[in-house]
Amino acid sequence: MRQDSEHARPTETHRFILGLRDAGKLVRDYTQNIDCLEEKVGLSTDLHKGAGNRSYRGVDCVLHESLRRLRCSKCSGTHSRDECSQETETLAGQGPPCPGYANISDAKTTAKKRTTTIGTLRPDVVPYDELDPRADSISAIARRDLLLRPDVLLILGTSLTTHGVKRLVKDFAKVIHKRAGKVVFVTS
Ligand SMILES: [Zn+2]
């Protein structure tokens, strides 16, 4: 999937969202997509930038998960694929070791200790039965965005079947209806 997504190109919709950002009209783009096309078009997806404020532009696009990143099973740190560059292992279904432990030399650590202390990396995608490790940062950003009382909510290409997405859409729609704004639902 990741190899396919690397060749995928952003769509008119991605460029439309970028246009809103550049015109200063985008509060936030929340997406369930994991193909990272938002990054390709030039929207920032680094959650560490936070919600931002009047003088500082926060993250443009909140990604719940990403095929381009790897997450450590022990420390929950995320790493780019380039940083780990263990394509063969990953494709063979083996998790490469977490680079957070790169300084621990193999000579000093027995194979047994390595397996217990060093986390392995897996794609940064959350299965339905697991908690999203980003949930807290994402809801902090959403709470702030709700306080900004946006006047338009565009819901694009989702079936609204995922619980978290349904919740988010309901919360925003409520705030927007209250101020007589517009909620637009475009199905794919
Ligand atoms: Zn780690």
Measured in whole angstroms, how far is the alpha carbon of residue 72 from the centre of its chain? 16
> Above pLDDT 70, what percent of the chain?
88
When pLDDT is cut at 50, 70 and 90, the band that residue 109 belongs to is low
pLDDT at 8 over 70: yes
When pLDDT is cut at 50, 70 and 90, the band that residue 105 belongs to is very low
Q: What distance in angstroms lies between residue 173's CA and the mean position of ligand 1's atoms?
A: 38
- Mean per-residue pLDDT, 36-41: 91
Enumerate the domain spans of the chain. 2-65+130-186, 69-124
- Mean per-residue pLDDT, 159-179: 92
Cβ atoms of 45 and 63 within 8 Å: the answer is yes
CA dihedral 48, 63, 135, 147 (to 10 degrees): 80
pLDDT at 106 over 90: no
Note the pLDDT of residue 156.
94
- Mean per-residue pLDDT, 13-40: 93
CA distances (Å), 44 to each of 13, 22, 72, 186, in order? Answer: 16, 12, 22, 24
Note the pLDDT of residue 80.
77
Q: Find all residues with CB under 8 Å of 165, minimum gap 6, and list them.
A: 30, 32, 158
Q: What is the pLDDT of residues 77-92, one digit of tens each?
A: 888 776 666 677 777 8
Q: What distance in angstroms lies between residue 165's CA and the mean position of ligand 1's atoms?
A: 28
Q: What distance in angstroms lies between residue 117's CA and the mean position of ligand 1's atoms?
A: 9
Q: Tokens for 57?
A: 């532009």
Q: Tokens for 78?
A: 């995320």
Return the active site residues.
Answer: 64
When pLDDT is cut at 50, 70 and 90, the band that residue 95 belongs to is confident
The total of other beta-carbon atoms located within 10 Å of residue 18's CB is: 19
pLDDT at 111 over 80: no
Q: Does the domain at residues 2-65+130-186 carry the CATH identifier 3.40.50.1220?
A: yes
